[in-house]
């Protein structure tokens, strides 16, 4: 990895060590900041290339960025950057809002924590308005079709079925699922601990479907892990690859995509993360789960994040209208 300027290094270290952001999130912060500083180097004429020369731009080093350079950044330059992202890079509102958020966090750290800077040029810049899209999710019938698509004769059938069951019932994130250890599961299989965003742990209670899938998988787990090797490398990992390693996120994404295709659900925009949406929606629509309880199940920081699931059920809306005490009044 290229050498990172000290003023960016300290910010990234703060995000990871103090705020507990994941390495992947920290990397995203860096990539967004690198794009911004490359833009400035070209815009200010310190590097004589075109901003739209993709190859030259992606090879541009930002090692020269220091405190004085950062302190000289103006709001106008940030507006110019956002305009370039929109017009030239064709970034949508969500991408632009995320990149502006990275800049906000960077300048906030250096004005309020490290105090290397006096002024924050992002302070008065409004974020692009992001339209909140309704989450895409599988229907109850489609969820059953997905589970039934697992070939019982496959060497990985018990594992794959358990993975799909956990996604559809627990609403966990991909990173949470692959990070599950055997030690995270209670001896009676009633609950387990997962580690979510910001390394925050929460307890998930396992329903009968999850318990049954887990009980079916565990006896063949060791055999699965020995398919291509004599030793299981990740002895505490719940879900193993056929090589005895902890299963990777990419492998899980691949198997979900495969099962969606086998279930005839390919091309509908479904994905691993959509299974998390499915679990949340099924619980809310069919289980009369309080939105605050759903927030804790999903591991959301803010209730507003969870409230999107209150807008996905036409049946709930219809029931609410029928619950009005005036609903049975007859016309004159």
For residue 21, the model assigns a pLDDT of 83
Calpha distance 15→28 (Å, rounded): 11
For residue 189, the model assigns a pLDDT of 92
User: Is residue 273 annotated as part of the catalytic site, yes or no?
Assistant: yes
What radius of gyration, in Å, describes the C-alpha atoms of the chain? 24
Calpha distance 258→280 (Å, rounded): 22
Q: Taking the CB of residue 203, how many other CB atoms lie within 10 A of it? A: 13
Calpha distance 217→231 (Å, rounded): 19
User: Is residue 173 annotated as part of the catalytic site, yes or no?
Assistant: yes
Angstrom distances, CA of residue 222 to CA of 4, 165, 183, 225: 43, 20, 15, 5
For residue 74, the model assigns a pLDDT of 95
Phi, psi (degrees; rounded to nearest 5) at 192? -150, 160
97 contacts 130 by C-beta, under 8 angstroms = yes
Per-residue pLDDT of the chain (332 residues; tens, 9 = 90+): 468 999 999 999 999 999 888 888 899 999 999 999 999 999 999 888 887 788 889 999 999 999 999 999 999 999 999 999 999 999 988 899 999 999 999 999 999 999 999 999 999 898 887 666 666 788 889 999 999 999 999 989 999 999 999 998 888 889 999 999 999 999 999 998 888 877 778 888 888 999 999 999 999 887 776 666 557 888 899 999 988 889 999 999 999 999 999 999 988 888 888 888 888 887 777 766 666 766 777 766 666 665 666 655 555 556 666 666 666 766 65
Catalytic residue among 30, 217, 284, 309: 309
For residue 15, the model assigns a pLDDT of 93
Phi, psi (degrees; rounded to nearest 5) at 103? -65, -40
Catalytic residue among 21, 51, 99, 173: 173
Burial class (CB in 10 A: 0-12, 13-18, 19+), 167: buried
Catalytic residue among 27, 104, 273, 316: 273
Catalytic residue among 38, 276, 277, 295: 276
Q: Which residue pairs, CB below 8 angstroms and at least 24 apart, start in 148-157?
A: 148/263, 149/259, 149/260, 149/262, 149/263, 150/259, 151/262, 155/224, 155/227, 155/242, 156/224, 156/242, 156/255
For residue 132, the model assigns a pLDDT of 62
Closest CA relative to residue 138, chosen from 268, 256, 252, 257: 268
Calpha distance 96→126 (Å, rounded): 11
User: Is residue 274 annotated as part of the catalytic site, yes or no?
Assistant: no
User: Is residue 277 annotated as part of the catalytic site, yes or no?
Assistant: no
Catalytic residue among 67, 98, 197, 316: 197
Residue partners of 321: CB distance under 8 A and separation at least 6: 327
What sign for the dihedral angle of Cα 136, 141, 147, 151? negative
The CATH superfamily holding the domain 140-315 is Intergrase catalytic core (1.10.443.10)
- Return the domain boundaries, the chain: 6-112, 140-315
Residue partners of 154: CB distance under 8 A and separation at least 6: 160
Token representation of residue 258: 């495969």
What sign for the dihedral angle of Cα 259, 263, 269, 275? negative
Instruction: Count CA atoms within 13 Å of residue 266 on its CB side.
Output: 10
Phi, psi (degrees; rounded to nearest 5) at 195? -110, 115
Instruction: Give me the DSSP letters along 231-266.
Output: S-S-TTBSSB-TTSSBPPHHHHHHHHHHHHHHTT-T
* pTM of the predicted structure, to 2 decimals: 0.62
For residue 172, the model assigns a pLDDT of 86
Helix (H) or strand (E) holding 194: strand 191-195
136 contacts 274 by C-beta, under 8 angstroms = yes
Closest CA relative to residue 205, chosen from 169, 167, 158: 169
User: Is residue 228 annotated as part of the catalytic site, yes or no?
Assistant: no
Instruction: Give me the DSSP letters along 46-60.
Output: SS-S-TT-HHHHHT-
User: Is residue 158 annotated as part of the catalytic site, yes or no?
Assistant: no
Catalytic residue among 104, 184, 300, 316: 300
- Which residue(s) pair with 237 in the sheet? 181
């Amino acid at each position: 990895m290229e050498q990172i300027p000290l003023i960016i290094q300290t910010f990234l270290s703060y995000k990871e060590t103090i705020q507990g952001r994941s390495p992947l999130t920290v990397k995203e912060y860096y990539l967004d900041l690198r794009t911004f500083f490359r833009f400035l180097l070209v815009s200010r004429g310190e590097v004589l290339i075109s901003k739209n020369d993709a190859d030259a731009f992606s090879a541009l080093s930002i090692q020269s960025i220091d405190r004085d350079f950062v302190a000289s950044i103006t709001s106008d330059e940030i507006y110019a950057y956002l305009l370039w992202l929109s017009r030239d890079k064709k970034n949508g509102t969500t991408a632009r809002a995320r990149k502006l958020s990275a800049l906000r966090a960077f300048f906030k750290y250096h004005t309020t924590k490290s105090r290397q800077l006096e002024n924050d040029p992002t302070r008065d810049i409004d974020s692009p308005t992001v339209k909140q899209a309704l989450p895409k999710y599988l229907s109850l019938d489609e969820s059953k079709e997905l589970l039934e698509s697992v070939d019982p004769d496959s060497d990985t059938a018990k594992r794959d079925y358990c993975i799909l069951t956990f996604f559809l019932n627990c609403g966990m994130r991909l990173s949470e699922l692959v990070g599950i250890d055997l030690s995270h599961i209670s001896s009676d299989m009633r609950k387990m601990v997962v580690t979510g965003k910001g390394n925050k742990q929460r307890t998930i209670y396992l329903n009968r479907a999850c318990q049954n899938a887990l009980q079916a998988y565990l006896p063949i787990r060791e055999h699965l892990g020995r398919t291509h090797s004599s030793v299981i490398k990740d002895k505490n990992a719940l879900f193993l690859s056929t090589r005895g390693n902890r299963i990777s996120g990419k492998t899980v994404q691949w198997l979900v995509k495969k099962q969606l295709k086998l279930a005839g659900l390919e091309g509908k925009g479904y994905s691993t993360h959509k299974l998390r949406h499915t679990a949340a929606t099924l619980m809310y629509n069919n289980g009369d789960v309080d939105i605050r309880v759903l927030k804790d199940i999903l591991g959301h920081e803010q209730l507003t994040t969870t409230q999107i699931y209150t807008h996905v059920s036409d049946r709930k809306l219809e029931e609410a209208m029928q619950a009005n005490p005036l609903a049975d009044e007859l016309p004159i």
